[in-house]
Amino acid sequence: MISLKDGSLTALSRLGAASAGPAKSKVTVSPRASKASGYRPKLVLASASPRRLALLEQVGIIPDALRPVTVDETPTKGEVPRHFVRRLARAKAEAARKLIRAEPDYAKCFILAADTAVAVGRRILGKPEEGDKATDTLERLRGRNHRVHTAICLVTPDDRMRERVVETRMRFRNLSDAEVRDYIASGEWKGKAGAYAIQGIAGGFVVKLVGSYTNVVGLPLTEVVTLLQGEGFPVSFFWPNLAEIETE
């Protein structure tokens, strides 16, 4: 288990351990009740992605720990992108659940998992591991429409699974060969679905985006917040403390 109490997140390290409080066995309390009592249910993120951590921190959600898991990300024959990301997000959530349910501190926590894929039509482009494959991917995307799919899977403390799949439509301008070459040389594509990071240099490639921007980064925040709130997680627990940090 990777604990965020070691300061992996800027906000958490500045808030200190006193803000987090111990877990509560019953988690169907309202956010207001949680604040008043000083207790809140714990949240484990089944990922070590710095992008997903930063997105959660942006809306004031501070995971208590990380549980990154490895699953086979090979699409099955004929698998469509929506089914692919849903299957992987669920697999990550289930793997994380098996790892932590035996640990007393996290026996009654929320587990959040996600998976993102870029697709042209039904073709899933994946995360290229070599420069040549990344080049092929960008050449396939330039001047064309594509879609970014992210599935989120939330495991509740009583072991129910809640899922959402979010789709964003994208179009890149027609990149020159030199731009593709120089982008590959930047290394920004490494570990990224579709061989690009919209929050970086590749933000200058986009001529159309219809849907959720944070979905393209790797975690659709509106859907994550709605899902957590719907299951009684006090999303706004840290907000007053974060406001104090901003005004220091």
For the annotated catalytic residues, the residue numbers are 115
Tokens 């469509």 sit on residue = 80
* d(C-alpha 34, C-alpha 84), whole Å: 36
> Is 83 exposed, middle or buried (CB count within 10 Å of its CB: 0-12, 13-18, 19+)?
middle
| Residue 79 CA from chain centroid, whole number | 22
**CB of 9 closer than 8 Å to CB of 64:** no
What's the one-letter identity of residue 234?
P
Segment holding 218, helix H or strand E: none
Q: How far is CA 13 from CA 8, 64, 89, 95, in A?
A: 7, 12, 28, 28
Rounded to whole angstroms, the maximal C-alpha distance in the chain is: 59
CA torsion angle for 157, 241, 10, 214 (degrees, to 10)?
60
CA separation, residue 65 to residues 119, 122, 226, 228 (Å): 31, 35, 21, 16
How many other C-beta atoms lie within 10 A of the C-beta of residue 91?
Answer: 18
